[in-house]
Amino acid sequence: MATENQENENVGWFKGFIRKIMNVVISVAKDTKKLGEEDPRRIIHSFKVGLAITLVSLFYYFDFFYAGFGVSAMWAVMTVVVVFEFSVGATLGKGINRAIATLLGGALGVGAHRLASFTGEKVDVIMLGLSVFFIASSVTFIRFFPKLKARYDYALLIFILTFCLISVSGYRNDEVLEMAHRRLSTILIGGSATVFICIFICPIWAGKDLHNLTANNIEKLAIFLQGFGHEYFETTNDKNQENVKASIDGYKTVLNSKGTEEALVNFAKWEPRHGKFRYRHPWDQYLKIGSLTRECAYRIDALNGYLNSEMQTSPEIRTKIQESCTKMSSECSHALKELALGINTMTSSLPADPHILNAKTAAKKLKSSLKTGLWPDTDLVDIIPAATIASMLIEIVSYTVKIADSVHELASLSKFKSRDEASRNEKSKGKVTRTPSIESHSLSINIIE
């Protein structure tokens, strides 16, 4: 009886264990599928990396037998593994950093090695040690300079590395030169293979991502403002309430987008001409637009938080401000959508301007309606929430104006075409102008005009 129980227990434990394992496998499979679906370029990137590493590994394998580069051939494999990044800009930046740093570090290393070899047998160790200490400490400190850190951090690291490896190696003088040369050439081979595969097989451009991210972020604010009127004044059907709520909260990702944006700008600056972007596209302007978009998002978050807090307006007062408020938010929303569409299609976003004017007019109208004293019998404490929401919206209108200005500036800097011109060009090519769909990391939202 006891053994049977124990056996049953064992079987139960075993079944539970299998079930747990199965659950883990299933959840991992689901995550994998989700990651791939969110951005299929991840899968392509993985295959590209696999291809590059395999090709260069085989070079390393065959070289072993013909012994052209010897052990140094492994630097080529290392270079591919370390340099191959998701976007072309990041890969190019890292590759160029690595190549130049290896060249400079190697040259200085050979120099230090030769200088030390002129001195006596014990002095040379001290000299080498001191020079390594000095170079390593000072370059490590230089890595703290913010501007250098942003663009050349990897170069500084590789510079220290190459300098130490070359200068301290105990080879004879001519061997050291050869070693430095081999290291440089294998790194160049690995680096070029990486850059070639990265650019010519389904390239992923950081510049394009930055461009789409900027447009998407503006679009998200627009979606909030579009939904805001419906949600706050409850003029929508209940059945798609949930959907509206979810898309409304999309703006929250904008709040913390600074890091991503700065990284993308840094990468984009390394990229050559691609698509509609020329080599020196005004990437810094995107930072300006992004920072205004974020500030507007802070205000929207404050507004959203205020709506969800305990403060409630009485329905009568809500009705009184409803018209102006919905007008303001919907006009801002339209303007922001036009701006996002303008960025996406790289056409001038002048169609946003009338919407902005309308929003400003609505703001003025609201102010004057408050002045004429439409509210004689209402308690002040009831008005406050409505007044607060109204003033927050007015603030958001002023940020929309600022965003529009910075987008117009981008348009003139990068010579966006006017929409008529663009659509004429499209037609002359026999194509129909269509609503573009934004492709980017998990941000795929269709623009509905």
Q: Measuring CA to CA, how many Å separate 296 from each of 266, 341, 395, 404?
A: 24, 18, 9, 12
Half-sphere exposure of 129 (CA within 13 A, CB side): 5
**Pick from 21, 35, 357, 413: which binds a copy of itself (CB under 8 A)?**
35
Interaction of residue 196 with a copy of itself, rule CB under 8 A: no
**Pick from 170, 242, 279, 428: which binds a copy of itself (CB under 8 A)?**
170
Q: Which residues pair with 347 in a beta bridge?
A: 417
- By CB under 8 A, the count of residues binding a copy of itself is 81
Q: Tell me which DSSP letter residue 28 carries.
A: H
**Pick from 247, 253, 388, 440: which binds a copy of itself (CB under 8 A)?**
388
Coil, helix or strand for 347?
Answer: strand
Interaction of residue 161 with a copy of itself, rule CB under 8 A: yes
> Can you point out the beta strands (E) in 229-351?
none
Residue whose pair of structure tokens reads 């959508």 in the numeric block: 337
Q: Which residues pair with 369 in a beta bridge?
A: none
How far apart are the C-alpha atoms of 285 and 290, rounded to whole Å?
A: 8
**In the complex, least distance from residue 31 CB atom to a copy of itself, rounded to whole angstroms:** 7
**In the complex, least distance from residue 176 CB atom to a copy of itself, rounded to whole angstroms:** 11
**In the complex, least distance from residue 387 CB atom to a copy of itself, rounded to whole angstroms:** 4
Instruction: Give the torsion sign (CA, 399, 405, 409, 412).
Output: positive
Structure tokens at 63: 């070289």
| 289 vs 341 by CB, closer to a copy of itself | 289
Structure tokens at 318: 């809500």
Interaction of residue 5 with a copy of itself, rule CB under 8 A: no
| 329 vs 344 by CB, closer to a copy of itself | 329
| 57 vs 423 by CB, closer to a copy of itself | 57
Orientation angle between helical segments 41-66 and 173-200, nearest 10 degrees: 150
- Point out which span in 217-225, 234-242, 372-380, 414-422 binds a copy of itself (CB under 8 A): 372-380
**In the complex, least distance from residue 238 CB atom to a copy of itself, rounded to whole angstroms:** 28
Contact of 166 with 105, CB cutoff 8 Å: yes
Interaction of residue 199 with a copy of itself, rule CB under 8 A: no
| 13 vs 145 by CB, closer to a copy of itself | 145
Positions in 38-97 near a copy of itself (CB under 8 A): 42-43, 45-47, 49-51, 53-54, 57-58, 60-61, 64-65, 71, 74, 77-78, 81-82
Residue 260, H or E segment: helix 258-268
Positions in 344-363 near a copy of itself (CB under 8 A): none
Positions in 126-145 near a copy of itself (CB under 8 A): 128-129, 132-134, 136-138, 140-141, 144-145
Instruction: Look at the chain and count its residues.
Output: 449
**In 3D, which of 171, 189, 158 has the Cα closest to residue 74?**
189
